[in-house]
Amino acid sequence: MTYDVIIVGGGIQGVATAYELAKRGAGKILLLEKTILTGGSTGSCAAGIRAQFGSEFNVRLMARSLEIFEHMDEELGYSKEYLELWQGGYLVLAYSEKEFEGLKRNAEVQHRFGLDTAILSPEEVQKDFPRVNIDGVVGATYHSRDGHADPFRVTFAYAEAARKLGVEIREWTPVSEILVENGKVRGVKLQDGSEEYADRVLVTAGAWTTALLKTAGVDLPLWGEKHEILITEPWERVLGPMVISFSRGFYIQQRPHGSFIMGLPPVDPEHWYEPEAFDFSSSMDFLMRMAKEATHVLPFLQGVNIVRQWAGLYEMTPDHHHAIGPVDEVEGLWVAAGGSGHGFMFGPVMAEQLSKWMTGSSMDIDLTPLAPGRFKKGALVVEPAVVG
């Protein structure tokens, strides 16, 4: 069949963009997902959302994304309780003067965009968050509107809202090839050999994006990097904020039902471009490192049992930013991938702005610096506030 837009990939990025495109009257839209919606990184993530970034660009984007999360109940018709939107803040700990100076500079940028990020001394951290061990802590920043949301429910809510607007969503439908004719995209070939046609194809296939674009002759420097994560048994609710350190790499949050979710970056990150090489194994090394960090910063966790661990992929690019926009090599072929460790939180705002770009409206936040062609031009975009 022929569509106006075909989207490949049913994670937060693909599903939210399908909804936003439908809302803007982009025509007949088909979304194809090779497994189930959230079957990629979206379903593996910690789902933290924060505006505490360091570049103006990211702070603006995440300030808008937070607003979208805050009004998602009205927009998509699902309550905040269903979406498990929890705004307990992010407490970002600094373990050296240099790191604290960096956090203060980031907070200045955040203040310029209307965010009321607090700069805290170790004593203030102790007073406001008595469960946090301030050993080695030099200072911290805290922004109360940061938090987390359920990645499955947010994606499903977008999917239902998209379906209501007429978007066709097909799960268990892997795309094997992007069809190109005379430099223009023609559609996609499915694994069963059938074809679907559209003048515009948007690839939102997360870490699988590189392999798919290759079938259209496009080289994108985007790779999968394994990150491990674990969840504990539910416990009494004691932790409001996501507790995080950029220098030590940990993040720890308590879900609304009481479990703690936490992660740490790999010691020696490996880069995988080909899906056959992707590694989703869990390791004892991660468990040991994570348990040590977690019980140091939150000593009460010594009494809490771990119930499950898993691994997922950050979709990395050379500058940790999305590759988003039309590809230079093939007319009508678009990409939106590469959120690295923060693609869930950026999903809603990227979807909103990208859908404006694709439908010819002016963007409120100009995404063109993130166009995939920047890598060949060496025009990288720098962000100082990232984990791993």
Ligand X SMILES: Cc1cc2nc3c(=O)[nH]c(=O)nc-3n(C[C@H](O)[C@H](O)[C@H](O)COP(=O)(O)OP(=O)(O)OC[C@H]3O[C@@H](n4cnc5c(N)ncnc54)[C@H](O)[C@@H]3O)c2cc1C
* Nearest residue (CB) to ligand X, 102 versus 224: 224
Between residues 115 and 203, which has the closer beta carbon with respect to ligand X?
203
11 binds ligand X (CB under 6 A): yes
Task: Decide if residue 354 touches ligand X (CB under 6 A).
Answer: no
User: Could you tell me the smallest distance in angstroms from the CB atom of residue 100 to ligand X?
Assistant: 23
Indicate the pairing of strand 29-32 with strand 168-170: parallel
**Of the ranges 91-99, 179-187, 198-206, 287-295, which one interacts with ligand X (CB under 6 A)?**
198-206
**Minimum CB distance to ligand X, residue 89 (Å):** 14
Query: Which of 132, 162, 264, 345 contacts ligand X by CB under 6 A?
Result: 345
Q: Does residue 330 interact with ligand X by CB under 6 A?
A: no
138 or 306: whose CB is closer to ligand X? Answer: 306
Minimum distance, C-beta of residue 318 to ligand X, in the bound complex (Å): 16
Stretch that binds ligand X, among 35-43, 56-64, 104-112, 285-293 (CB under 6 A): 35-43
388 touching ligand X, by CB under 6 A = no
Residues 218-257 that bind ligand X (CB under 6 A): 227, 229
343 part of the interface to ligand X, by CB under 6 A = yes
The correct pick among 3, 29, 48, 298 for binding ligand X (CB under 6 A) is 48
| Site residues, ligand X (CB under 6 A) | 8-14, 32-35, 39-42, 44-48, 174-175, 204-206, 208, 212, 227, 229, 263, 312-315, 337, 339, 341-345
